[in-house]
């Protein structure tokens, strides 16, 4: 498939071959895209570099998205190597583990600042530096989750960060739209990744998601990767300021028939 042949872009946030960002990168690469990769410090380089080299990346660079000078440096290097860009994928999120446990009301100020800074403000910073390099008709999209609009057990401050990310996306879509740059979010259902397995009760989340989803299953990396390919490609040429859900329909259902049966039996 040559859907992305001749298209150049960068992905922030690939960390291993089991993550959502990798699923998107693989679909883009298989469709012919030329992809640059960043990694978060030396500790992550040994994981990311083999993946990037396997996809013939011309640029593999360290970037702490909370540091403006590092984000700027990445796009300056992109300009040297690629000239212009056609897509940017924001797959960066973090919150201190202690702020994902217990009650949300006990969230610390430090945990709040870290979660929103890394997970939401970084999209603003990335868009600001990417803007001048983006071709008309190009795409920027970020990864989000249903916890942005619903309270999800053990998601806590990350849900607030994702809500901020989605709101920022809509304002960015307005700012960049006149230049033909689309900005969207991709909301994936729960997927077994190294990051998600660190969430308390994640296995229960998977079971609950599959029960509630109209398709009666959880999404696979391939499902999310294909949606990422759609957003990065010209197929989504008229889509901006949007949250695209890829969760087998879980977000659209109040409760499954099975859940209602359990409630009826408990009465």
pLDDT recorded at residue 43:
87
Q: Is 119 within the bounds of a domain? A: yes
Q: Is the pLDDT of residue 188 over 90?
A: yes
**With contact defined as beta carbons under 8 Å apart, do 250 and 212 qualify?**
yes
Number of domains in the chain: 1
Query: Which residue range(s) make up the domain with 86?
Result: 8-266
Look at residues 120, 97, 118, 93 and name the one whose alpha carbon lies nearest to residue 108: 97
pLDDT recorded at residue 170:
98
Instruction: Select which of 22, 39, 121, 145 is catalytic.
Output: 145
Look at residues 7, 8, 26, 6 and name the one whose alpha carbon lies nearest to residue 16: 26
Tell me whether residue 22 is one of the annotated catalytic residues. no
Q: Is 128 within the bounds of a domain? A: yes
Q: Is 1 within the bounds of a domain? A: no
First and final C-alpha spacing in the chain? 54
**With contact defined as beta carbons under 8 Å apart, do 6 and 32 qualify?**
yes
pLDDT recorded at residue 191:
81
Q: Is 75 within the bounds of a domain? A: yes
Give the pLDDT band (50/70/90) at residue 78.
very high
Q: Is 118 within the bounds of a domain? A: yes
Phi, psi of 154 (to 5 degrees): 70, 5
Q: Is 3 within the bounds of a domain? A: no
CATH number at residue 194: 3.40.50.720
**Paired tokens of 231:** 């957003």
Instruction: Select which of 22, 39, 155, 230 is catalytic.
Output: 155
Q: What is the pLDDT of residues 118-145, one digit of tens each?
A: 999 999 999 999 999 999 999 999 999 9
* ∠ CA 179-242-67, rounded to 5°: 65
Q: Is 2 within the bounds of a domain? A: no
Instruction: Name residue, tokens 């999800």.
Output: 152
Q: Is 64 within the bounds of a domain? A: yes
Whole-number Å distance between alpha carbons of 128 and 122: 10
Q: What is the pLDDT of residues 26-71, one digit of tens each?
A: 999 999 999 999 999 888 999 999 999 999 999 999 999 999 999 9
**Paired tokens of 12:** 């922030």
Half-sphere exposure of 57 (CA within 13 A, CB side): 24
Tell me whether residue 145 is one of the annotated catalytic residues. yes
pLDDT recorded at residue 211:
80
Q: What is the pLDDT of residues 221-267, one digit of tens each?
A: 999 999 999 999 999 999 999 999 999 888 988 766 666 566 556 55
């Amino acid at each position: 498939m040559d859907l992305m042949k001749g298209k150049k872009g960068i992905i922030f946030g690939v960390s291993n071959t089991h993550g959502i960002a990798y699923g998107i990168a693989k679909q883009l690469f298989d469709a012919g895209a030329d992809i640059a990769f960043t990694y978060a410090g030396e500790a992550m380089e040994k994981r990311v570099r083999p993946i990037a080299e396997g996809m013939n990346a011309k640029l593999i660079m360290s970037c702490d998205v909370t540091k403006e000078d590092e984000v700027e440096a990445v796009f300056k290097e992109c300009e040297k190597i690629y000239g212009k860009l056609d897509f940017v994928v924001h797959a960066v999120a973090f919150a201190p583990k202690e702020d994902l446990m217990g009650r949300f009301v006990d969230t610390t100020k430090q945990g709040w600042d870290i979660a929103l800074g890394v997970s939401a403000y970084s999209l603003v910073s990335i868009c600001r530096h990417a803007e001048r390099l983006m071709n008309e008709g190009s795409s920027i999209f970020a990864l989000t989750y249903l916890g942005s609009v619903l309270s999800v057990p053990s998601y806590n401050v990350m849900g607030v960060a994702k809500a901020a990310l989605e709101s920022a996306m809509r304002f960015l879509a307005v700012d960049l739209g006149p230049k033909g740059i689309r900005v969207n979010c991709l909301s994936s259902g729960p997927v077994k990744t190294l990051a998600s397995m660190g969430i308390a009760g994640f296995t229960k989340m998977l079971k609950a998601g599959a029960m509630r989803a109209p398709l009666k299953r959880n999404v696979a990396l391939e499902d999310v990767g294909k949606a990422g390919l759609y957003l990065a490609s010209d197929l989504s040429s008229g889509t901006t300021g949007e949250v695209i859900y890829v969760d087998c329909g879980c977000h659209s259902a109040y409760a499954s028939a099975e859940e209602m049966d359990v409630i009826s039996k408990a009465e």
